[in-house]
A and B are shown apart, each in its own frame.
Chain A
Amino acid sequence: MDFLIEEYMKVHLAQMKPILGNLEKNAGKHFEIIEQAVEEGCDLVVFPELSLTGYYLLDLVYDVAMDETHPVYQRFLEYSNEIAIVFGFVYESREKLFYNAASFVHRGKTVHLHKKVYLPDYTLFEEGRYFAAGNSIEAFDTEFGKCGILVCEDVFHLSSLYILSQSGVQNIIIPSNSPARGNLEQGHDASNTWQTSNRYIAGVLTVNLVFVNRVGVEDGVSFWGGSEAYDAKGRRLAAADMFREEGVTVEVDHDSVRRARIETPFLRDEKSFIVRNFLNEEGCGK
């Protein structure tokens, strides 16, 4: 069992708009926000998906890609001595593959680098054309308990959630670039889907959940923001405005996971052998 020193983790949801393809300026913006978060006494600051680069990169992917040795990445590692940071960028691997990635950095080290597994490549998305897909979903240990990062579309695959849950995560961090669309009578489809999904995940997996979505417009596509945090009972702790660049700081109670798992012990009762049997014997292609 993990004993945590602090009762709360103070998380800053950095709902921002990056400049498309300008690594240096975006890095500067990150550092300003990080410094403010440090000043506020935050333990963790979470930026959106591709926060260092912007979303519709197209052929800019190859210009903004970097690895841990890049000076900008090194600056993040320096800052991480003061605060844990999750940020989004294009990761260029040694094999010269380009990933839509998010890093969790803390105490001068990369604690975890997640490569987005599910690259949406339909309607207004074309990530599959430019990025290599990650091939694992992994939980990782942090000073705030076990965490998992899912980048945007990763969330909409139940297997991602299942793997993180079975790996024992207490916190799920979701950097996102969700565009507003399907704007009909009932509010737009994207925010409805995300809010429903976030609440469901937090409550059913009994985890704390931090969702950070960007704002701003790229070639007519508006990213809606609405970043939010939930506790392990599925209660919304805080939410940022839609469409506006604004940071929100929230205190996430570590104990909410414990309380939720006593009251609603879905994790305890999960019978993963059923899934194993299904995959081994009947599933997939039969």
Chain B
Amino acid sequence: MKLNLDLTVDILANFIKDETEKIGLKNVVLGLSGGIDSALSAALAAKALGGNRVYAYCMPYKLSSDESLKDAMKVAETFRLNFDVIEITPMVDPYFDMIPDIDKLRMGNVMARQRMICLFDMSAKVAGLVLGTSNKTELLLGYGTWYGDLASALNPIGDLYKTQVWELSEYLGIPQSVVDKAPTADLWVGQTDEQELGFTYRQADDLLYAMVDERRRIPELIEMGFEEELVKKVAEKVRRNQFKRNMTVIAKVSQRTIGRDFRYCRDWGY
């Protein structure tokens, strides 16, 4: 699980630069929440392209904490990013007003998708690719909004577990307050990821690493000392959220169906 940090930074910075420039673009765009994942994506992008080619946006809702905005600004300053604040409250509140019984989960999803709309619009404005900020733990557990924060053109941190995100963030000099604070989607006051998930990221990462990277089966995991209940819960989350990691399911009719036997890379011709 421990990383060779130099090498990882090399690979990820080279990835951002190569995949951006080969299609003829210079810039990247990303949402900066004040959390560690987006800070790491931003730091890597700054390393790859220089901060002046990274466009970072903090997109708070009226219930988002002030700390988050302050931390986002700190990250932008540290890595000399282009930075702006886009308040989403006047965009989403009219919709919420129309649905009096809307619950927290639906609100969270609407906000995540609104931020996606803003980012992709900024992407058109500055001619930049949208950089993803979901880590491997979140992607495996399905802890993200489909076509919301999961939507991006490039994701430099999608193969890093949260534990590895922490390690790499310290190495890249991300402000300590961002590294140290409890991970939160900041969807409502006082929310933390670990509270909502019911286990800690470190627990989940040790388990996921053994389950996914080492391909250990469930009885083996239990024998290794992981609690049976946790193993089953996590395995089920991974299975149930596969749809978020796939493209749309297309009904096959022809000899050549997109995604199944019409297969090309995104990098086709680049």
Contact = CB atoms under 8 A, between A and B. Distances in A.
Contacts of B250: none
A188 B159 CA distance: 14
Most chain B beta-carbon contacts within 10 A, residue among A20, A54, A187: A20
Given A21-B269, A243-B10, A217 B19 contact: yes
A185 B4 contact: yes
B8 interface: yes
B10 A219 contact: no
B263 interface: yes
A19 B250 CA distance: 29
A15 to B, nearest CB: 14
Given A20-B265, A59-B263, A184-B2, A217 B15 contact: yes
A56 B267 contact: yes
A183 interface: yes
A227 B261 CA distance: 34
A188 B7 CA distance: 8
Contact of B11 (A54, A56, A222): A222
A60 interface: yes
Contacts of B267: 20, 54, 56, 217-219
B252 interface: no
A218 B265 contact: yes
A74 interface: no
Most chain A beta-carbon contacts within 10 A, residue among B19, B263, B268: B268
Contact of A60 (B154, B261, B264): B264
Interface in B1-56: 1-4, 7-8, 10-11, 14-15, 18-19, 22
A186 interface: yes
B266 interface: yes
Contacts of B18: 17, 216-217
Contacts of B268: 20-21, 60
Interface in B155-212: none
Contacts of A184: 1-4
B19 A220 contact: yes
Contacts of B19: 217, 220
Interface string B248-270: 00000000000001111111111
A97 interface: no
A222 B4 contact: no
A66 B265 CA distance: 21
Nearest to A182: B213
B11 A243 contact: yes
A17 B265 CA distance: 16
A275 interface: no
A22 interface: yes
B144 to A, nearest CB: 18
B3 A183 contact: yes
B35 to A, nearest CB: 23
Contacts of B7: 180, 183, 187-188, 242
Contacts of A216: 18
Interface in A205-260: 216-220, 222, 242-243
Contacts of B270: 19-20
B83 to A, nearest CB: 27
A4 interface: no
Interface in A264-280: none
Interface in B108-131: none
Nearest to A216: B18
A58 interface: yes
A58 B265 contact: yes
Contacts of A17: 18
A60 B262 CA distance: 10
A222 B265 contact: no
21 contacts: A17-B18, A19-B269, A19-B270, A20-B268, A20-B269, A56-B267, A58-B264, A59-B264, A60-B264, A180-B11, A183-B3, A183-B7, A183-B11, A184-B1, A184-B3, A185-B2, A188-B4, A217-B267, A220-B15, A220-B19, A222-B15
Given A222-B15, A242-B7, 8 more contacts: A19-B22, A19-B270, A21-B269, A56-B265, A185-B4, A217-B14, A219-B267, A242-B10
Interface of A: 17, 19-22, 54, 56, 58-60, 180, 183-188, 216-220, 222, 242-243
